[in-house]
Amino acid sequence: MPDKPDQYYKEISESVKSIFELTGRIDERIKNLVDQHDEISQRTEKIIERQENIFTRLSVLETKNNNDLKEDVAAIKKELNDVELKVATLQMTSQSHENKWQIIGEAIFKIAITVIGAVIVWQLGANH
């Protein structure tokens, strides 16, 4: 029959290995989230650039006084609405990434509390 200290160290060792494996998986997920965030940031920059170009074109069109002005303005408004929809979609995606970070943090905290509680309970049981 193994000694209690040997069994204790074996269980602690297994717990530590499990925690390392978990943190490795969390690191992979975080890297994926960071990559996705970078991609979204690049898309956002492109959208902002397009929006600035649209505003420039709009200011040029406002200086014109011809019959095509209404059609040009309508086309620009449509394109601006499309850009606003894309920005709103990106904001919603960004919000979901923030929620994922919060869930990951809560999960890590709960796991740590559970491991600490298990060690304390085990220690109290081993002392009696």
Residue 12, pLDDT > 80, answer: yes
Q: Which candidate, 43, 122, 127, places its Cα nearest to that of 89?
A: 43
The Cα 128–Cα 114 span in angstroms is: 21
- pLDDT mean over 50-73: 76
Q: Which candidate, 8, 9, 88, 76, places its Cα nearest to that of 44?
A: 88
DSSP string, 28-84: HHHHHHHHHHHHHHHHHHHHHHHHHHHHHHHHHHHH--STTHHHHHHHHHHHHHHHH
> How confident is the model over 26-44, as pLDDT tens digits?
888 889 888 988 898 898 8
51-58: Cβ within 8 A, 24+ apart: 51/80, 51/83, 54/79, 54/80, 54/83
Three-state DSSP class for 2? Answer: coil
- Binning pLDDT at 50, 70 and 90, where does residue 2 land? low
Q: Which of 43-52, 95-104, 116-125 has the highest mean pLDDT?
A: 43-52
What is the per-residue pLDDT for 64? 67
What is the per-residue pLDDT for 67? 59
The percentage of the chain sitting over the pLDDT mark of 70, rounded to a whole number, equals 88
Which positions ≥6 away from 62 have C-beta within 8 Å?
A: none
- Listed by start position, the domains of the chain span 29-98
What is the per-residue pLDDT for 1? 47
- Binning pLDDT at 50, 70 and 90, where does residue 121 land? confident
